[in-house]
Homo-oligomer: A and B are copies of this chain.
Amino acid sequence: MSKNPALHNNMGVDYVIVFKYATTDKAQAEQRLEEMLERLSGAGLATEVRKGDDHSLLVFIKVGSKEHMQAEIYRNRVKDWIHGVRSVEPAMDTEKSLEQDPLTEAERLRTIHGLITHVRSEGGAGITPQKGKWQNVESVFALHDHAYNKEWIKKWSTQYLLKPEDLDEIRDRMGEKIAFYFAFTQAYFTFLAVPAGFGLFSWLFLGYFSPWYGIVASLWSVVFVEWWTHQEQDLAVRWGVKNVSGIDEKRKEFTPKHLVDDPITGEQMRIFPARDRLQRQLLQIPFVIAAVLILGTLISTCFAIEVFISEVYSGPLKSVLTFLPTLILTTGLPFLSGILTKAANSLTDFENYETEAQYERSLTSKTFVLNFITSYLSLCLTSFVYVPFGSVIVPYLDVFSVTVKPFADNAQQLETPDNASQFDINPARLRKQVIYFTVTAQIVNFAMEVIVPYLKRQGLIKFKQMQTKRTEKKTGIPLPSAAAFDPEGESDFLARVRNEAEMEVYDVYGDLKEMVVQFGYLTMFSVVWPLAPVSFLINNWIELRSDAVKICVECRRPTPWRADTIGPWLDALGFMSWMGSLTMAALVYMFSNDGLGPDGKPSDITGWALLLSIFVSEHLYLATRWLVRTSISKIDTPGRQKERRMNFVTRQKLMKESLEQTRMVPPPGEKADEITRRSLEEDARQGSLHDASPREKFWDRQRGWKEAAKMGRLFIERDEGDVSDEKVKKEL
């Protein structure tokens, strides 16, 4: 592939629009296409149309007019300045502004994306993919820079650690949102060295369930979360995106309840009362309860069945039945999760947020709840139900024998009350489960993420080819493939574009979610098996690289969005770090007997000791967090220094500009007459003559500061007990 020069050459194309007309009436599609092309041209973009796959057109776009581009850059930069993202007003002359602050690849692409999607009143073409009247516009994407991608992957795969410059480069090309994901994962990876090292030590010398390991891991999680919160802001300053999340991108789906004319600006405001939204948000409570019940029931049932089959049941078909719970889980869980995710989406839609940021935040919190249950519930069941209460609960699992009745040869096999009551828990189950989640699941996940999609796409291509051939065989005429219309010398290039058009959209939040879930295993359960962080360390080294490969090979080139934070996931990290202080303490306490844990009879556990360890651990955690947070917030970083300096310069400049017209007012003139008895007496006379008010008299006694000073000196000098007040009075 790399030998073909077309792959390195994007023909100067900036963006590609995929225009589908499969489901639309032809005349309408043509009219829409025409309107779209006209609008793009109006926004200063040059276009070329080519044939795409599956009843689609590929509309190629490049910047046609430098003026439009510069106007858009200027508009964007002014907007940034107004929202406090830039501290200095951009120069009116965009050429100059670009000299001071050159355009990165990411800003360039974002600007062109803006030209395509922004409303026309703001100078864009107003093309909104799959929304409103642009249902035909399936996607808008930039083409991969294959030469760069190749170099990128080559560099990363031969480099142990990513340097800040590597992250800067991602930011320059992919935008800050993706750069934040890589920066976070890299920071997490680097930090992991500590628990991995201590975990290995702990595994070798301290054994499982070591309280020391628990303390180190918990402390580590606090420091990491607080450090990242701080580092994030620093990165935002470094990348010049601080306050970007304050630029509220309005959601097009927002439907106001009523329109109000603002009394001051006269502008029409789209209002949706907060009270109404709050009422709708209350639906989150039943949603969460339902999610917990539905997913919880499924997971607990499967868990119970598994325990029953593997540890109680001794009937026929045991080897087959063992796979039953796994089967139920792997089919049922994605199905139910899918339904609940859809419900979460609908609910968030219904909550009718005004801005994208609010929408995303609300959706993330719901996603987090679903993920929390699916990821950690079964481990919680093993730790806090199966191990401590196993012997009490497991005998009741006999209910399931009804289910297995059809498989039983005779009733005898099912009557195993003796067996059940003498049931012994399997202390290795918890560790096995943790190993599964921290090693096996990570590998499976990697496969699902990188390898399976690749195979799937290859299979799809094969399948299509076969289908075409079959149709051709049936009709006798060869079907016209899109490539048949390709002008000479463009077929390789167009084939590649068609290929990229079929790729997935890169979902940076999905990848971030994965890291957050992994962090949860570490903070909440790694005390069970202290090698978990070692596994994560290895996994994340690969993950960082495989995500780069994924972006390059399996996804369309992502639009370089900006961000100044990893968003609501940060709260999730904090929450799980907190939960960790509870679960780790409980696990350490319960399993402190050589890591075997209680024998399944709850009498082994002293309630007050368990609660006390949790209580103490949690409060130590909270106190430590407060301390760490306070300390970290005081550390001065290059980003903060830069920010402070920029603020100072801006303020200085504004102050100077504003104040330069206020000249220093000259001090008021002075009449420094000698204070003599005569002049004072004269004053008194004049006072009585003019019948001045007491106030006028008061302020007339001393004229100018020199007289006041003389009077003061007199008072100071005569301040002795050796003269009668009468005498002094006379002298004055």
Residue numbers of A with Cβ under 8 A of B are: 6, 9, 11-12, 19, 21, 26, 29-30, 33-34, 37-38, 40-42, 44, 46-49, 51, 55, 57, 59-60, 62, 64-65, 67-68, 71, 74-75, 78-79, 81-83, 89, 92, 123, 262, 264-265, 267, 273-275, 277-278, 471, 475, 477-481, 484-485, 487-490, 493, 606-612, 614-615, 631, 634-636, 645, 648-649, 651-652, 654-655, 658-659, 661-662, 664-665, 667-668, 670, 684, 694-695, 697-699, 701-702, 704-706, 708-709, 711-713, 715-717, 719, 721-726, 728-729, 732
Contact = CB atoms under 8 A, between A and B. Distances in A.
Nearest to A75: B659
Contact of A655 (B79, B273, B489, B724): B79
A702 B667 contact: no
Contacts of A702: 47-49
A610 B60 CA distance: 71
Contact of A708 (B37, B277, B493, B611): B37
Nearest to A282: B631
Given A11-B695, A655-B79, A48 B634 contact: no
Nearest to A285: B627
Contact of A719 (B55, B275, B655): B55
Given A265-B648, A484-B729, A489 B697 contact: yes
Nearest to A717: B26
A708 B48 contact: yes
Given A278-B634, A485-B715, A65 B668 contact: yes
A703 to B, nearest CB: 10
Contacts of A717: 26, 30
Q: Which of A273, A649, A708 has the most CB of B within 10 A?
A: A708
A664 to B, nearest CB: 7
Contact of A732 (B59, B262, B485): B485
Contacts of A715: 49, 51, 57, 485
Contacts of A651: 82-83
9 contacts: A44-B665, A47-B708, A48-B699, A75-B659, A75-B662, A264-B649, A265-B652, A487-B701, A606-B607
A49 B711 contact: yes
A195 to B, nearest CB: 25
Nearest to A33: B712
Contacts of A21: 716, 719
Contact of A40 (B485, B699, B705): B705
B709 A662 contact: no
Copies of this protein in the complex: 2
Ranked nearest first, the 5 interchain pairs of A and B with the lowest CB-CB distance are A607-B608, A484-B725, A611-B611, A480-B725, A41-B705
B699 A12 contact: yes
Where chain A touches its partner, the secondary structure class is: helix
A73 B702 CA distance: 27
A487 B675 CA distance: 15
B75 A478 contact: no
Contacts of A38: 705, 709
A706 B57 CA distance: 15
Contacts of A480: 721, 723-725, 728
A11 B6 CA distance: 91
Given A33-B709, A34-B713, A41-B667, 8 more contacts: A37-B706, A44-B667, A48-B698, A48-B702, A51-B715, A55-B719, A607-B612, A608-B608
Contacts of A711: 49
B704 A41 contact: yes
A30 B716 CA distance: 7
Q: Which of A611, A684, A724 has the most CB of B within 10 A?
A: A611
A19 B26 CA distance: 93
A88 to B, nearest CB: 12
A726 B483 CA distance: 11
B721 A477 contact: yes
Contacts of A659: 74-75, 78
Nearest to A636: B274
Contacts of A49: 702, 708-709, 711-712, 715
Nearest to A52: B715
Given A262-B645, A485-B732, A607-B607, A48 B712 contact: no
Contacts of A75: 659, 662
Contact of A479 (B55, B68, B716, B721): B721
A713 B634 contact: no
B44 A668 contact: yes
A49 B706 CA distance: 11
Contact of A634 (B19, B265, B274): B274
A615 to B, nearest CB: 6
Given A33-B709, A648-B265, A694 B65 contact: no
A272 to B, nearest CB: 11
A96 to B, nearest CB: 14
Nearest to A630: B281
Contacts of A74: 659, 662
A695 B9 contact: yes
